[in-house]
Structure 1
Amino acid sequence: MYYNDNTVIYLDGKFVKANQASTDLYSQTLHYGYGVFEGIRAYATENGTQVFKSYEHFERLKRSAELIQIPFAYDVQALVDATDELLRRNKLTDAYVRPLVFCDPNMTLARPNNVSIMICAWEWGAYLGDKQLRLMVSSYCRPHPRSIKIEAKVCGHYVNSILATNEAKDKGYDEALLLDSDGFLAEGPGANLFFEKDGVLFTPQLGNILPGITRATVLEIAEELEMEVQQGLFKPNELFEADSAFYCGTAAEVIGIASVDETVFPKAWKDSLGKKLQDAYSKRVRETSNVLSKN
């Protein structure tokens, strides 16, 4: 589903066939989850392919590596250009792009001497679909920010997300909602949370969540639309009393939430602030100001 015999990936400065690429089974990333990654979206527009906030994503990739002391000697603009070329070579327009920085063979817990970078891409629809979600509050919480670098997008951190997602799906829900270690609302396994009450938007503050690039874009759009947004620490009961809610993330985009546990939000999605932001976000990511050259 992710690649075929003709698929090309970018690996350490070269474009190679995906089915001919290899990695070392003694990689520190494979054994310990010591690596960093990103998720980037490319969109088809009337004038060509638009990669949304590619530079910002690679800057965050660099920052994630630095936070967990993985060497990162790559030029961000060169990675942006390599992504554009990768999409051209694979003839992809609507696509999900996955950069991954992974470490060399190392069975110790010390920092690596050498790292590699891979960028791949494939066609992928909205990760959580297009229907409103039924969530459950997970029994798993987000790691304490003093136990990991919560603001870094690290491979091993996502075991927490996998456990929460599988728990929710096994119980018949679409997705999970995680609290932080102090019992405040945090985020979804792969998306940030917003909720609406009396015409005001609320979202958990930074510190115990991943600082999502889509989250930042939603905040930009909300300001442009003159929506009031409050960032802070919120308990689950404040969400249960909300009028509506939504998740946002690069893979999920903006997706409405129908319910959490057995609480159904009373406001129709079509009438919510989230719907207005969903429409505006969809338009924003398909703007043609940064369309790739057709050459």
Structure 2
Amino acid sequence: MQYYDSNTVLYLNGQFIKSAETKTDLYGQSLHCGYAVFEGIRAYKTHNGTRIFKAKEHFDRLKRSAELMHIPFPFDTEELIRQTYKLLKKNNLKDAYIRPLVYCGHNMSLSPATESSIMICAWEWGIYLGNEQLKVGISSYQRPNPKSTHVEAKASGHCINSIMATTEAKKNGFDEAILLDMHNNIAEAPEANVFIEKNGKLYTPPPGSILPGITRATVIRLCKTLDIECIEKHLSVDDLKNADSAFFCGTAAEIIGIASVDEAVFPAIWTETLGATIQRTYKALVLEKQNYEVII
């Protein structure tokens, strides 16, 4: 996939620069150690114009991730939001995926960074996992032990775990993976949180070994609005495989149904599931087709 061309610009430390003219510090701590934090944000073309969904929540989480990883963050959320809207306009983007990255300069030691830079780029990108229900496999890789790192931070180095799990899943004939935690409970997918439906209720793993996503929080609040009981609890592989249905949620993936896990096929017809109801409601929310922002 081509993410930029000769006319594309990105935002870098207060300036808009052509993407093709930027350079990477080959001695950078972020390059050598994965010592950086990032966000994934979506902008949607709505009847109210181009709108960035949950912009403040995403940039606030970017700041929190930097604090957890001891990366300086001398950037203002409201200013970053304003500059991101300018970036979309300069690139003539209305439906877009936005990637802010806070990265560190040259440092070959293991000491914390003393300064950082921020880059924001954007490109057109469809739904990350597509529109069809997914065949999913339980990964042999686990999510990192929460005592080994801050798993709730969206840190670049954590992506290695996701790459390994997704690569393994696709080699085994699956569309995506589900990782377990250190206790062999369901954790999450490489770029999405997991929900299951059983007997008219939704269940999702609690914080601890997962990245508690902004889309996940939106789904939980939509459940309250729609009077759907949603319970956070530890889920076993058997709980997942014996569910009536299941789905992933995430900024990139949005809401996407799961057809099967390993050999287990979910019995419910997707269009009749709670997940499909959430999927339709979420789409209406991000496109501002109904005034959900009052309650979300």
TM range (shorter): over 0.9
Q: Quick one: distance in 1 between partners of 2:240 and 2:158?
A: 25
Cα deviations by residue, 1:42-84 (Å, 9 ceiling, x for unpaired): 0111231111001100000000000010000100110011111
Match of 1:293 in 2: none
Match of 1:68 in 2: 69
Cα deviations by residue, 1:206-232 (Å, 9 ceiling, x for unpaired): 111001000000011111000001101
SS of alignment partner, residue 207 of structure 1: coil
Q: Quick one: distance in 2 between partners of 1:106 and 1:283?
A: 46
- Moved >2 Å (runs of 4+): none
**Cα offset, 1:22, TM superposition:** 1.3
SS of alignment partner, residue 45 of structure 2: strand
Structure 1 residue identity aligned to 2:130:
G
SS of alignment partner, residue 204 of structure 2: strand
**Cα offset, 1:112, TM superposition:** 1.1
SS of alignment partner, residue 245 of structure 1: strand
Match of 2:113 in 1: 112
Structure 2 residue identity aligned to 1:213:
I
The 5 A counterparts of 1:146-161 are 146-161=147-162
Structure 2 residue identity aligned to 1:144:
N
Cα deviations by residue, 1:233-265 (Å, 9 ceiling, x for unpaired): 111101111000000000000000000001000
Cα deviations by residue, 1:81-106 (Å, 9 ceiling, x for unpaired): 11111001100011000000000000
SS of alignment partner, residue 58 of structure 1: helix
Match of 1:137 in 2: 138
SS of alignment partner, residue 222 of structure 1: helix
Q: Quick one: distance in 1 between partners of 2:74 and 2:47?
A: 36
In structure 2, runs of 5+ residues without a counterpart are none
SS of alignment partner, residue 55 of structure 1: helix
The 5 A counterparts of 1:1-295 are 1-287=2-288
Cα deviations by residue, 1:256-283 (Å, 9 ceiling, x for unpaired): 0000001000000000000000000001
Q: Quick one: distance in 1 between partners of 2:95 and 2:199?
A: 36
Q: Quick one: distance in 2 between partners of 1:21 and 1:81?
A: 22
Structure 2 residue identity aligned to 1:246:
F
Cα deviations by residue, 1:132-170 (Å, 9 ceiling, x for unpaired): 000000000000000010100000001000000000000
SS of alignment partner, residue 228 of structure 2: coil
- Bigger Cα displacement from structure 2, 264-273 vs 42-51: 42-51
SS of alignment partner, residue 279 of structure 2: helix
Over the residues paired in the alignment, what is the CA RMSD in angstroms? 1.2
Structure 2 residue identity aligned to 1:189:
P
SS of alignment partner, residue 41 of structure 1: strand
**Cα offset, 1:23, TM superposition:** 2.3
Q: Quick one: distance in 2 between partners of 1:282 and 1:210?
A: 22
Does the 8 Å contact 2:143/2:181 carry over to 1?
yes
Does the 8 Å contact 2:47/2:288 carry over to 1?
no
Does the 8 Å contact 2:205/2:235 carry over to 1?
yes
SS of alignment partner, residue 88 of structure 2: helix
Percent of aligned pairs with the same amino acid: 56
TM-score (norm 2): 0.97
Q: Quick one: distance in 2 between partners of 1:107 and 1:171?
A: 38
Structure with more relative contact order (C-alpha pairs < 8 Å, separation 6 or more): 1
Q: Quick one: distance in 2 between partners of 1:55 and 1:164?
A: 30
Q: Quick one: distance in 2 between partners of 1:56 and 1:239?
A: 30
Q: Quick one: distance in 1 between partners of 2:71 and 2:232?
A: 31
**Cα offset, 1:113, TM superposition:** 1.8
In structure 1, runs of 5+ residues without a counterpart are 291-295
**Cα offset, 1:285, TM superposition:** 0.6
SS of alignment partner, residue 240 of structure 2: helix
Size of the aligned set, in residue pairs, is 291
